[in-house]
Structure 1
Amino acid sequence: MPMSSLPNMPIMQMTGCVTSMQPMMQNMQPMMQNMQPMMQNMQPMMQRMMQQPMMMMQMGDMGDMHSSKHFGQSVRRFLASGQTLLVIFMLRQLSHTLGFRCEWARYLHSCIRNSMAGAKKKEVDLLFLEYVEKMHRCMVSYTSDPFYPMLMLPGLITPSKKGRLTVYPIEYPDVWRHYKRQLASFWTAEEVDFSKDREQWDTLLSDAERKFVRSILAFFAASDSVVSLNIMNNFCKEVTILEAQICYTFQAMMENIHAEVYSIMIDVYVTDPTERDQILNDVGTIPSVKRKVDWSEQWSLSDAPLSRRLLAYAVVEGVFFSGAFCAIYWLKQRNLLPGLTKSNEFIARDEGMHTDFAVCMYKLLGSPLTTTEAHAIFKDAVAIETEFITESIPCHMVGMNAELMASYIRFVADALLLRLGHPILFGDSNPFDFMELMGMVGRSNFFEERVSHYQRADVLNEDQVGTAQIYDPDF
């Protein structure tokens, strides 16, 4: 109420207003008392920070602020005593006063998270998200408060509305496009004809080439299950954007189709039950295959921040399959195993879309890794994939130079690094003219057989995104 209107207010009405405010004032007293020690603990750090304003604007220098144990202890004490709104309010005031928001939210989150170990870290993530949503329900609007974007914490991608149950209106059009693109490319195992593969397996392939295919199937048979489980057990629970959950669940279904196709291949190519069991157990017996699966599972079970795991699974989809896809596509140039090569085109295209979506989510998270961190993950993965493709799969025996194959893997890794927003690491060029990076153009006659890049016209000609018509000719 404007102060100028107070003189015109009846005395009884003014008395009633003051009386109604007394309980509120009494409730604020403990909060104000609790604020004093927190402010005292923060004063030295604030003075140091104000003396170095440039440090405040650089995430790379936030480590200096992390040395203030007193602030972190105060935060944890207040949260433990239920003073959630006080902590958020103080953070909000500091953020607006000092002119930077995102750094403080992440610092507050790390103060709490770094004091925990193991699975407790994820509990802290979810608990802090609950605090944030409580603050917004009690104090501000989701749409009007400029402070809300800073609460998109590392390891959590959250919706703009709590409890959203309907698809429309679309809130994340870019994410929704990835889902529609995958939907338009849907296929099933029944569309692949393996009738000619069995005869060629017995008569046209050498022992080395059969070993090569078996090694690929040993990895593929296990890897898609690892990816699917990671999606359902981790990403779908942590990423609560509805559009992303829809895309992730569809992706998991696609991985299940891939797993079914690999099982069909094993049944077609290997009729002896003992040999078939050996292929399925090769995951544990071939060291390079085991290292690939273990590396993937390591990130699936990791409590690392979501940004690290999103990048790692972009590597799984975009790098760990690249060598095998390339080798199978080389077989197509020799007109061998048409069922295998056709399904490889379908699956390679799918994995390319999954990689695209992983890149989208990594960028949407808004907390990218440092170049050093990203390069370390890629360097490790490329070494494992190179070992797998050059040792477990004897490229020299099927007419492919192992050195060129290793160069191709590094080329794929660099391309993915650039898409993720990081500098290249290796500097290799594509050594294979016949291979197009994760998006091979089908060359089959459309009227003779369905090409692998075919997409359902009724799904992707025009995307209905909210109330807008969005047309993308690239689709």
Structure 2
Amino acid sequence: MDGRGDQPLATLERVKILEPENPNRSTALFGGKASGILNWNDIPYPHFYDIRKEMRALFWIADEVDMSSDKKQFPTLPQKERTAFLKINGLLAEIDGPQTDLAARISNFSTDPSVKATFATEADQESEHNQSYAYVLSSVATSDQQIASFEEGRTDPVLLRRNQRMIDIYNEFAVNPTIETVLRALLYTVIAEGLFFYSGFAFFYNLARNQKMLGTAKMISFINRDELQHSKFAGELFRATLAENPEYNTKEFTEWIYEEFENAVEQEIEWSRYVLDGIDGIDLVEMAGYVKYRANKMLRMVGLSDIYEGYTENPMKWIRAYSDNFDDTKGDFFETDIDTYAKITELNGFDKL
């Protein structure tokens, strides 16, 4: 689908490393000109510096999390919890693994050095996430279980169906980089990091509120914090790119976004029923409401209205209460408000998506 109707799509060129004849301050996020020299005090979107700073402030290393108690507890979990544990680990690995590569690929085509720098930080965090899933499994599971868990991402039919559109969109950008496919890939990054992770996160938090697998839940909380920053950056970059390229801001593109969110919600609910049915402490109706709540929140992040009436508040209150106590802070990372675009409101069409 071309957001501009019948007009041909222009392929983006991979950006050179240094072009001194160009200005230091980039002229556009994609398809513009920049020297490759990054001066954080002279960038078109100053709040990108703040986002990168927030990402850096969350630095952590998987190996620092003590998994000794989890190693002892895992064999004692009910079979359904052990199966869900391994399947969800496979899910998270399939989503997070490509994000490292995607961040690098998008940055290769961005003509804004601040975007490249922010994506470099994000890519490093995503690679740590992927390592953390292997670290968790190596701490609690046998070699065969570890391999099987990572195989889930490419063999489980429900999981494959759930992620198929994300796979298609990411691969479309990889083989045909254009403004349109960049926008689609950014949109799916928002969906992946702001919606697709959350039934899995809820499973691990539910274990922890029952004093099970606390090391794993701590690791997940670190990943959760990172993903909120990543989805925030993807959402802001999506909106800024759309504002710089208003010809893509069409009714057809808006309808496509709503359709993708609706499909993502349907697939996430189906997945949660498949993997969490029978897990003590998980209410599947409540979980479905939580997925819709997350979808509404992500839609607002990209400048659109809610599509699920009555899901403006988190229906899984126990997650909020748990996270407040779990990380010894009063700020609930599930409820963090999305920053406004105060520094770039001069862009035309920014709220007309």
TM-score norm. by structure 2 comes to 0.79
* Match 1:262 to one of 126, 133, 141: 133
Distance 1:369 1:386, change over 3 A: farther
What CA deviation, in whole Å up to 9, does each residue of 1:89-131 have, x standing for no partner?
xxxxxxxxxxxxxxxxxxxxx3x43xxxxxxx52xx439x99x
Task: Give yes or no for the alignment of 1:434 onto 2:318.
Answer: yes
CA distance in 2, matches of 1:258, 1:442: 23
Indicate the residue corresponding to 1:414 in structure 2. 296
CA shift for structure 1 position 299: 1.5
CA shift for structure 1 position 295: 3.0
CA shift for structure 1 position 374: 1.4
Indicate the residue corresponding to 2:13 in structure 1. 126
Indicate the residue corresponding to 2:195 in structure 1. 319
Query: 1:226 touches 1:296 (CA, 8 Å); kept in 2?
Result: no
Indicate the residue corresponding to 1:70 in structure 2. none
Task: Give yes or no for the alignment of 1:287 onto 2:287.
Answer: no
What is the letter of the counterpart of residue 417 of structure 1?
Answer: L
CA distance in 2, matches of 1:162, 1:281: 42
CA distance in 1, matches of 2:209, 2:279: 16
Indicate the residue corresponding to 1:400 in structure 2. 282
Query: 2:320 touches 2:332 (CA, 8 Å); kept in 1?
Result: no
CA distance in 2, matches of 1:288, 1:228: 24
Indicate the residue corresponding to 1:341 in structure 2. 217
Specify the SS of the correspondent of 1:186.
coil
Distance 1:452 1:430, change over 3 A: closer
What is the letter of the counterpart of residue 221 of structure 2?
Answer: E
CA shift for structure 1 position 238: 1.9
* Match 2:115 to one of 236, 241, 244: 244
Larger Rg: 1
Indicate the residue corresponding to 2:184 in structure 1. 308
The residue correspondences of 1:41-52 to structure 2 (distance < 5 A) are: none
Indicate the residue corresponding to 2:84 in structure 1. 212
Indicate the residue corresponding to 1:178 in structure 2. 51
TM-score norm. by structure 1 comes to 0.60
What is the letter of the counterpart of residue 277 of structure 1?
Answer: I
Task: Give yes or no for the alignment of 1:390 onto 2:279.
Answer: no
CA distance in 2, matches of 1:182, 1:445: 19
CA shift for structure 1 position 246: 0.7
Query: 1:225 touches 1:255 (CA, 8 Å); kept in 2?
Result: yes
Distance 1:442 1:257, change over 3 A: farther
CA distance in 2, matches of 1:397, 1:295: 28
Task: Give yes or no for the alignment of 1:354 onto 2:240.
Answer: no
Query: 1:197 touches 1:269 (CA, 8 Å); kept in 2?
Result: yes
CA shift for structure 1 position 291: 2.5
Indicate the residue corresponding to 1:424 in structure 2. 306
Distance 1:223 1:214, change over 3 A: same
Indicate the residue corresponding to 1:222 in structure 2. 94
* Match 1:163 to one of 28, 35, 38: 35
- More relative contact order, 1 or 2 (CA 8 Å, 6+ apart): 2
| RMSD of aligned residue pairs (Cα, Å) | 3.1
Query: 1:378 touches 1:413 (CA, 8 Å); kept in 2?
Result: yes
CA shift for structure 1 position 282: 1.5
Distance 1:296 1:442, change over 3 A: farther
CA distance in 2, matches of 1:321, 1:369: 29
CA shift for structure 1 position 176: 1.2
Distance 1:167 1:158, change over 3 A: farther
Specify the SS of the correspondent of 2:303.
coil
List runs of 5+ in structure 1 lacking aligned partners. Answer: 1-59, 67-109, 114-120, 454-475
CA distance in 2, matches of 1:254, 1:293: 22
Distance 1:369 1:218, change over 3 A: farther
CA distance in 2, matches of 1:227, 1:445: 29
CA distance in 2, matches of 1:227, 1:293: 13
Indicate the residue corresponding to 1:471 in structure 2. none
Specify the SS of the correspondent of 1:426.
coil
CA distance in 2, matches of 1:435, 1:419: 21
Specify the SS of the correspondent of 1:225.
helix
Specify the SS of the correspondent of 2:30.
coil
Distance 1:165 1:376, change over 3 A: same
Query: 2:24 touches 2:37 (CA, 8 Å); kept in 1?
Result: no
Query: 1:157 touches 1:240 (CA, 8 Å); kept in 2?
Result: yes
CA shift for structure 1 position 430: 2.1
Indicate the residue corresponding to 2:239 in structure 1. 363
Query: 2:196 touches 2:268 (CA, 8 Å); kept in 1?
Result: yes
CA distance in 2, matches of 1:375, 1:193: 42
CA distance in 1, matches of 2:165, 2:215: 29
What CA deviation, in whole Å up to 9, does each residue of 1:401-439 have, x standing for no partner?
2121111101100111012110111122422112249x9
Indicate the residue corresponding to 2:259 in structure 1. 376
* Match 2:61 to one of 182, 188, 196: 188
What is the letter of the counterpart of residue 126 of structure 2?
Answer: E
CA distance in 1, matches of 2:232, 2:87: 27
What is the letter of the counterpart of residue 220 of structure 2?
Answer: N
Query: 1:221 touches 1:280 (CA, 8 Å); kept in 2?
Result: yes
Query: 1:283 touches 1:293 (CA, 8 Å); kept in 2?
Result: no
